[in-house]
Structure 1
């Protein structure tokens, strides 16, 4: 695959980095003695993710999934076809500069497979290093659409933002001709979501407008009234930070939920109690929660992670998928980067979310998504599946 970069949503993170003096050395393929290549005796994989910092919980979910996924994919041997798989872990602390330093160190040691990263900014920086040094890179929970089709060396083991937005649109039977209002903070995050909804749901025929709120606002009644006055068919909320509780409360008090469906994304378990009185009124789009499906491999992952002392959560599948992809790439490509890329392009496999396909043209990971609600369970709230949304209903636009 040779991809020409086209910007999708948001701005590309520019990272100044020096190219290593030499590209990563090619794998030292052994010789069977009869002219056949048996591959190297071992391959080292570099995992760069947030073990500390603001996204440490996401990093831990990924690591739990990866470690148990590697165990699962290799039957506990950490090797495939006689090739030992070694893993070296690096903490990026959510800092692109630290991630670039870690990537350079690993590549300098001869590592030509990198994976991980919870932050989109970090992932963009590592992806740049992967392209410059011709190594395979599989991003983790980082959701930025710009990673898809960024370069021929970059893949992803999780979903991307446009799949979230497309899932929001499935809460209406037919999005064509319907009015969708984005309710968000007037920040890069909010503006990015506004652009995403316009690009994705607008392309499906929706009329998209927005109510953007300054980040320092603490009184949300006028904005809730503005939502009602616009008479949308769907409200898509993209919000972050300390004012979330007050914002949701205002929507409840002003009767927004009585007038129109309100959709937002459901994050990891730590966020389930953050919606106050709105909790059982919100319709959630969701990437994953442990009870989202009854696939056998999902049950296996949950058991493996639980038995190891972890808690399966939102981004556990990203790590598990990464391990499955890496084992397949090494088995088919024997550590040679071009051969491993070819092995992954178009690859369809069973993961914790069912059947997943790596689109050959731009490396998007095609997968089902979920509609979810939160229900009271004692003193806590737990997610309950409304419906699984088939992959072809939420496929991201192809990057050409």
Structure 2
């Protein structure tokens, strides 16, 4: 389908019904800033990487023009750090391709990064972690700013709404991230030819973590807990499927509201059910209370799940210090039954030149080390630049075409470490498993949490960590 024709039809319909009628468009953010970053470095030399077939993606350096990106992230509120690290990762990916320093803030407004002869103009908007706000802003970005492509959303609910109401209707390419619900790229309601995601998802968490529990531990019975919304349900449902497939018995599952605090009874139920391990699909709103009850109880099972962001690890670290006393030690932590945990990405999990440079520039620019979401959003930016160069075009349809099946050559997980699957446009990449350990002196100032991931205990390959074609309700 010609994306420009489709978009004109969508805009015509939108104009006829009124912006509020379709999406409640409210216009742009206030207090915006404008930042421009450019480089005079030589254009990139040709690089190639294998796709999922035998084709190669070759970067070229002859294209010129402008790509306008509408960027949607939460930059205010309690979870603004999610948006900040997503933006910082994306800015770092653009800076890596440009050979310059990344944009140094996470404010809304217009910013430009020049890579070769192409200007990447970013129009950044604050979603406030709201699906309604994200839909309204996406509508404005497409209708009034006339962006070539959308990027963002930390909330899976927001990303899904933008896909259904804006991206699909207007046929605008949308690079989702870091929203992690597996359904975004595995459900027919949201997957699509114009919907891409480099960021890792909850199915990758479960497939890697579940395989580790099943094959490299003595756990044979698991009780599943999760928050009663899209993220928690995705974690639990994916773990349930993977663990069953690996021969692990699910002895119970329970969804609870965010911030749930009455954990003793539920943890006792898991003990009574014979659980040898439990999985917790929660964020910072719930994990500290769960861990406090677990540490204060006397349970025979272990706690598994995913390594979270710095803000969650900071609170969990404080919880552990209260329960175990200061200073935390490896010996104390090893006796708690916490972990090992899966990580989508943390700064110390990958040893390669790109990651080393990423950690150095990110830390010097933002004062913290790269976190959970940053490799996925770095790769999103790297992929967009690669698609422009490979397709020799700044047109949105050409960028989308180049992204399909692309192996991204430059990523924090290494060269050619992410590949967009042709059957659902989700990038696959390796995952690691690590134990919680006390934060070392080397990272104390830039991590700011009492615990951090250990060196990788295991790496689960990209093919094992990714939902196969047979497991998705998506046909592209």
TM-score, normalised with respect to structure 1: 0.82
Query: Could you say what secondary structure the match of 2:250 adopts?
Result: strand
Separation (CA, whole Å) in 2 of partners of 1:217 and 1:324: 39
Corresponding position: 1:167 with 2:208: yes
Pairwise CA distance, 1:218: 4.3
Unpaired stretches in structure 2, ≥5 consecutive residues: 2-8, 15-61, 101-111, 325-332, 442-448
Separation (CA, whole Å) in 2 of partners of 1:95 and 1:192: 19
Contact 1:185–1:239 (Cα < 8 Å) also in 2: yes
Q: Which residue of 1 aligns with 2:397?
A: 338
Contact 1:176–1:204 (Cα < 8 Å) also in 2: no
Q: Which residue of 1 aligns with 2:364?
A: 307
Query: Could you say what secondary structure the match of 2:348 adopts?
Result: coil
Separation (CA, whole Å) in 1 of partners of 2:421 and 2:99: 27
Pairwise mapping of residues 311-390 of structure 1 onto structure 2 (< 5 A)?
A: 311=368, 312-333=370-391, 334-349=393-408, 350-354=410-414, 355-377=417-439, 380-385=450-455, 386-390=457-461
Q: Deviation digits for residues 34-80 of structure 1, max 9, x if unmatched?
A: xxxx7662221121111112321011111111112112112349445
Q: Which residue of 2 aligns with 1:232?
A: 275
Q: Which has the higher helix share?
A: 2
Q: Deviation digits for residues 300-323 of structure 1, max 9, x if unmatched?
A: 111121222342222222321121
Pairwise CA distance, 1:359: 0.7
Equivalent of 2:305, from 240, 243, 264?
264
Query: Could you say what secondary structure the match of 2:12 adopts?
Result: coil
Q: Which residue of 2 aligns with 1:207?
A: 249
Separation (CA, whole Å) in 2 of partners of 1:305 and 1:217: 35
Corresponding position: 1:142 with 2:183: no
Equivalent of 1:65, from 78, 85, 89?
89
Q: Which residue of 2 aligns with 1:297?
A: 354
Equivalent of 1:98, from 123, 130, 133?
133
Corresponding position: 1:249 with 2:249: no
Pairwise mapping of residues 88-127 of structure 1 onto structure 2 (< 5 A)?
A: 88-108=123-143, 109-127=145-163
Query: Structure 1 stretch 143-152 or stretch 78-87: which is displaced more?
Result: 78-87
Corresponding position: 1:157 with 2:198: yes
Q: Deviation digits for residues 5-29 of structure 1, max 9, x if unmatched?
A: xxxxxxxxxxxxx942279xxxxxx
Contact 2:204–2:466 (Cα < 8 Å) also in 1: yes
Separation (CA, whole Å) in 1 of partners of 2:255 and 2:142: 44
Separation (CA, whole Å) in 2 of partners of 1:303 and 1:111: 32
Query: Could you say what secondary structure the match of 1:171 adopts?
Result: helix
Corresponding position: 1:20 with 2:11: yes
Separation (CA, whole Å) in 1 of partners of 2:82 and 2:466: 24
Contact 1:80–1:330 (Cα < 8 Å) also in 2: no
Query: Could you say what secondary structure the match of 2:304 adopts?
Result: strand
Instruction: Say if 1:241 and 1:67 are closer, same or farther in 2 by CA, change over 3 A.
Output: closer
Q: Which residue of 2 aligns with 1:82?
A: 117
Separation (CA, whole Å) in 2 of partners of 1:248 and 1:146: 28
Separation (CA, whole Å) in 2 of partners of 1:388 and 1:207: 24
Pairwise CA distance, 1:393: 2.2
Pairwise CA distance, 1:243: 5.5
Paired residue total: 368
Corresponding position: 1:53 with 2:77: yes
Q: Deviation digits for residues 116-169 of structure 1, max 9, x if unmatched?
A: 111111111222211111111101110011211511111112111111111221
Separation (CA, whole Å) in 1 of partners of 2:229 and 2:375: 30
